[in-house]
A and B are shown apart, each in its own frame.
Chain A
Amino acid sequence: MAVITAVPLKTGSIAIRGENLCRHYRMGETLIRAVDGVSLEVRAGEFVALLGSSGSGKSSLLNLFAGLDRPTSGSVVVEDRDLAKLSREELAKYRLHVVGMVFQSFNLIASMTVAENVELPLRFAEVDRSQRDSLSREALERVGLQSRTNHRPSELSGGEQQRVALARALINRPKLLLADEPTGNLDSHTGTEIMNMVRQFNQELGMTVVMVTHERALAERYAQRMIFLADGRLVADQANTAQHGVLQGGQS
């Protein structure tokens, strides 16, 4: 629990540091090097895009940051925690309090209403019901879905579902937002809507954002920094020079 109390972020402090990160696994006879010796640093408050073709290891890397997976070797330190050294229980706590995640396929629980999906992390955090209600209302307001709280995910459009997922990612006030192809299942209009919200979280709430995408245009429009992966290796790491114009011109 103690982890949430946010120290005001100094720009420049390190949110994620990966050192010679490897994630290898065996598939039959062949050894697959999903992540193969990646070293990088992400500063607190940064908006980073992980780019690469499919199979380049960008999602595997994101899973390592998310604490969903453990590196085969190397270390990944997020918010001063060496994830490789955490127990399963501690890793669950880390995912609960430090990380918010959004996925390409939304990953909402179909049997639960919108409000229940959003407050589910609070149940794992053992937050009281009354507090849960107000927190989930607040989160849903932030994504503009306060009128749909009692609907099931299947009754919502894709964009709305992703907004629910964003509200859920937000509810525990994490420092890190990890997004895996968040617009992959959306048309360009709703995709833009979602991305604007992500940027808003980044800028207004100070969340560090790491987004996996294969669309370079999307990365150029929103990210401050682009990291290119191929075959599990980091091939390029560059600041987004095109971004300034977008920051002003914004919304289109």
Chain B
Amino acid sequence: MKAPDLAELAVRNLRESVLRNSLTTIGISVGVASLVAMLSLGIGLQQLASRRLVKSGLFDTIFVTSRRDMRNMDRNEDRGGPTPGESRVLDESARLEIERLPNVQEAYPDIRFVTELRFDDKPHMTTISALPESAKSNDGFEGMEGQFFSSERAAEAILQKQFAEELLGKTPPRGAAEPSVNELAGPLLGKELTMVYAERAPTPPGPVQASPQRTPDALAAASYSVISRERKLKIVGVSNLDPESMRGPMRGRVFIPLKLAEGLHVMQATDIREISTSASGQAVYSSVSARVKSPAQIQAVEDAIKKMGFTTFSLLDASQSLRTFFKVLDLFLGIFGSLALAVASIGIVNTLVMAILERRREIGIMKAIGASDRDVEKLFFAEAGAMGILGGLAGVGLGWAIGRVINIGTNFYLKSQSLPPDNFWAVPWWLVGGAIGFSVIVSLLSGLYPAGRAARLDPVQALRYE
């Protein structure tokens, strides 16, 4: 029989017992819907995660450290290359060199120090981190009260939420509700802090520059004195950042602009070691962060920096394991989604076997007037396939609707928790096509047994059947 005839007869037969066939088709569509809903949730979560992570700035940043600084390095992060002995000092010229590498947007030193901050004449010891201008677009400063630094050198500070609580003496007891950022920002914004810090005296003030006149003498460089200094800082913002979260330069409780921090020449814990190794007398950094234009270029830039003789670390590995995680998650969601489809396929087998019993005589007639086994088989296959297509189409629609509802519901919940809404769910075209195709394949497989059975029916007996 020709394909159009086959399709026509199949649709006609399906219409003959509308109720039973629609119920079976609904079964398939529920199966497909659960598959689509599960997978679209998995895909949506993955997209959400990578969107967030790209925004966080973690995945386009390479942390560069000197190989000499092995004490602080996790050995697992060392991926071979020159031995520590051949390694270079991570100084200003190295930073500029890194910044000149292709695809590098900026390379800035990580400045972080512990010092005393006075507020209302009360001293507070805390960690201060310097932030480059580019940190402004990080999602870490989403939901911040106040605004970002007005300039790269402004004597301004952004407080981390818990530190703001400490300043106000509002630290809540464990388990109690945290005061909102808004509440904390009110009494603090515009107020002044006094930062007390130790300055390395011999280094000239102003932006750090290489001074070629200096004698390349380690001992000369090492001779510096420490002067206690004070600096007033205006509070411009209170951020919701979690200080424990892994955000490289953002692991502080108070943030000040990078250029300001550079100009202060605060003595850092690593200074003594650095000074003893710095031959040039340039500013030496414990680590430098290099921002790359897109996460895809991380590997190439990382390799280039390694060739320069530094140790690098990026979260590329972490993002790869994240991708693996989502693959596994999708697989599991897919398996769970498929279970419903498997149940639906039993429904197809049942419906078609019932149809054989019901249409036994009809099959006998068709064979008597010249239908071959193959014709009968194909007819039952076509019916199974038609149910698969219809069920697949309806299922994709239903799955889409379910995903939509889940998304709306979740966002409603997020809103009630005063969190920003997001998209947890995505139905790409390949999923639509794949789900329908899968549904047809499952239906055809289910039709295999009934179709074979119908084809083998003995026409004489089938005709005798009333």
User: When A69-B460, A111-B12 are in contact, do A123 and B1 touch as well, CB less than 8 Å?
Assistant: yes
In the complex, how many angstroms separate the beta carbon of A180 from the nearest chain B beta carbon?
9
B459 touches A68 (CB 8 A): yes
User: When A92-B370, A101-B368, A107-B365 are in contact, do A124 and B375 touch as well, CB less than 8 Å?
Assistant: yes
Secondary structure type dominating chain A contacts: helix
B16 touches A124 (CB 8 A): no
Chain A residues with CB under 8 A of B5: 123
Assembled-state Cα–Cα distance A139/B361 (Å): 24
Chain B residues with CB under 8 A of A66: 368
* Total chain A interface residues with beta-carbon distance under 8 A: 27
User: When A96-B369, A107-B365, A109-B365 are in contact, do A126 and B13 touch as well, CB less than 8 Å?
Assistant: no
From the candidates B13, B372, B463, name the one contacting A107 in the complex (CB within 8 A). B463
B16 touches A97 (CB 8 A): no
The size class of the interface chain B forms with chain A is: 20 to 34
User: Quick one: which of A97, A111, A172 has the most chain B CB within 10 A?
Assistant: A111
Chain A residues with CB under 8 A of B460: 63, 68-69
Within 347-405 of B, Cβ neighbours of A (below 8 Å) are at 361-362, 364-375
A89 — nearest CB in chain B belongs to which residue?
Answer: B372
Chain B residues with CB under 8 A of A107: 361, 364-365, 368, 463
A126 touches B2 (CB 8 A): yes
In the complex, how many angstroms separate the beta carbon of A90 from the nearest chain B beta carbon?
9
Map CB proximity to A onto B1-44 as digits: 1 under 8 Å, 0 otherwise: 11001000100110010000000000000000000000000000
In the complex, how many angstroms separate the beta carbon of B374 from the nearest chain A beta carbon?
7
Within 136-170 of A, Cβ neighbours of B (below 8 Å) are at 168-169
A126 — nearest CB in chain B belongs to which residue?
Answer: B2
A109 touches B362 (CB 8 A): yes
A107 — nearest CB in chain B belongs to which residue?
Answer: B365
Map CB proximity to B onto A33-76 as digits: 1 under 8 Å, 0 otherwise: 00000000000000000000000000000010010110000000
Assembled-state Cα–Cα distance A93/B361 (Å): 20
Chain A residues with CB under 8 A of B365: 107-109
A247 at the interface (CB under 8 A from B): no
User: Which residues of chain B have a CB within 8 Å of any CB of chain A?
Assistant: 1-2, 5, 9, 12-13, 16, 361-362, 364-375, 459-460, 463
Known: A108-B365, A126-B1, A172-B370. 4 other contacts (CB 8 A): A92-B373, A103-B368, A124-B370, A168-B369
Interchain Cβ contacts under 8 Å between A and B, 6 examples: A88-B373, A101-B369, A111-B12, A120-B369, A125-B370, A126-B1
